[in-house]
Amino acid sequence: MTVVRVVARVRVGGGAPVERLVCHPRLPLVAGVNSADPVVRVWDSDAGGLRVLETIGADSPPYDDVHVGRRTPAVAWHPDRALLLVADERAVVMWTPDGVDELDDLPATAAYRWLGFSPDGEGLWAAPSSGDEHKPWELSSDVLDPYSGTVHPGPGWHTGIAAHPSGEVVATLHGDDIDGTSVVFARVDDGTAPTTMRLLERTLDLEVDNYETPIFSADGRHLAIRGHNDNSLDVVGFPSLQHVLRTILDQRGNPLPTHPGPRHDIAFGTRPGVLWLGTTAGILVEIDLDEQRTTGHDVLDGHPVTALAATPAGELVVATAHGDLVLLSVRTDPDRDRAPDDDAVRATATSFLDTTSEVPDDGGPEAPWVVRDDAPNWVSDGLATATEPAWLRLQAAIDNPRGQGG
């Protein structure tokens, strides 16, 4: 049995709801952003509390109605250091415990919408490219050396970078409104300076477009993708890329295709095989992919969830529509809480790399990518079929959070 308990609750400055939370991969640090203004807040989540460390852009005016949601700052944590980069299409600033500084030596034409560090911290990946003469499939990102400031061409990607816990593979998105979106994978070439991505031929085709950055589970066995246009939740096994589940969510987290809900509302904790989903009904849903069951946890006083993330210690950080930030402890069977085995994690990455090859350097739109469209032939389309697959009973977990959903 899983026990979820509130250990800290703080009010976000001004009471504005946070719409995206990004936890540092190794340190007790959390960054939060919203689409109403360019402010980025940094909290320390150590010692069972939440303490504000910095408010980046505190003096910036809110966006006007035309630009709300279009210029949400991009954030990226260094994988080892207490260092956060923030880009807002005009500049890139760096936060450390010593303060905030603007990055120098960036290309004059840089207007980055997305940032990501390589898993070893030796490369900064930024998109779109600062170059003005390129073909989208050949050069649509920059690879920056964080020490020298030099810029190299990088492959096309957008939205964000997800690093497999082995550090050997990353996943990102590629596509547009016309051709659709695919999850693309890359081998991390840490033999270069700066560290680069080497795109792989094997991809995962998505049904529509407009998705959030994929997220890997802590043991590297699952990959989850949250969709915008169809309000979908997809989880595939890794390295198989076979669907474990696909469902359509409404605002309450139910399998119904109605109005869009929050998009940064899923997180993998440290327990293998468990995905967490925050709902606008204020219920936190535990989706056990291995045991095929769902459980609701009513610990948020019914406040709708606007963002969810997991700390490296296995705690959950939740933002609510009431402008609160909540830190939750998660306790379960000690045997299931054990940290993933490093050798097993690396083995999943090795297995994936053994099934694919690198895209040739001159690969274009005709590159021989092997698109894996593994979407199942069922989609929940109403309350009568909302339990397909039979174990995915999100409605039950929301309506009866003290019981089992499946």
Encode pLDDT of 281-309 as tens digits: 999 999 999 999 999 999 999 999 999 99
- The string of pLDDT tens digits covering residues 16-68 is 789 999 999 999 999 999 877 789 999 999 988 999 999 998 887 777 655 55
CA–CA separation, 228 vs 261, rounded Å?
9
- Of 209, 253, 244, nearest to 227 (Cα)? 209
Report CA-CA distances (Å) from 249 to 119, 229, 234, 259, 380: 32, 11, 11, 9, 9
- Of 3, 2, 1, 10, nearest to 318 (Cα)? 10
Q: Is the pLDDT score of 329 beyond 70? A: yes
Q: What's the pLDDT score for residue 79?
A: 97
- DSSP, residue by residue, 43-87: EE-GGG--EEEEEETTTPPPPPTTTTTTSPPEEEE-SSSS-EEEE
- DSSP, residue by residue, 187-223: EEETTSSS-EEEEEEEEEE-SSS-BPPPEE-TTSSEE
CA–CA separation, 277 vs 275, rounded Å?
7
pLDDT band with cut points at 50, 70 and 90 for residue 366: very low
Report CA-CA distances (Å) from 344 to 174, 190, 222, 351: 29, 21, 13, 10
Q: What's the pLDDT score for residue 385?
A: 31
Q: Enumerate residues 6+ apart whose C-beta is below 8 A from 392.
A: 245, 247, 255, 287, 294, 380, 406
pTM for this model (two decimals) = 0.90
Q: What's the pLDDT score for residue 7?
A: 95
The percentage of residues in the chain with a pLDDT greater than 70, rounded to a whole number, is 83
Measured on CA atoms in the order 272, 124, 176, 261, is the torsion positive or negative? positive
- Of 233, 231, 266, nearest to 251 (Cα)? 231
Q: What's the pLDDT score for residue 180?
A: 75
Over the chain, what is the mean pLDDT? 84
Residue 183, token pair as written in the block: 């999850």
- Of 390, 387, 369, 366, nearest to 241 (Cα)? 369
CA–CA separation, 250 vs 279, rounded Å?
9
Q: What's the pLDDT score for residue 376?
A: 42
**Rounded (5°) CA angle 337-344-170:** 100
Better pLDDT: 207 or 67: 207
- Of 53, 86, 82, 52, nearest to 71 (Cα)? 86
CA–CA separation, 243 vs 379, rounded Å?
12
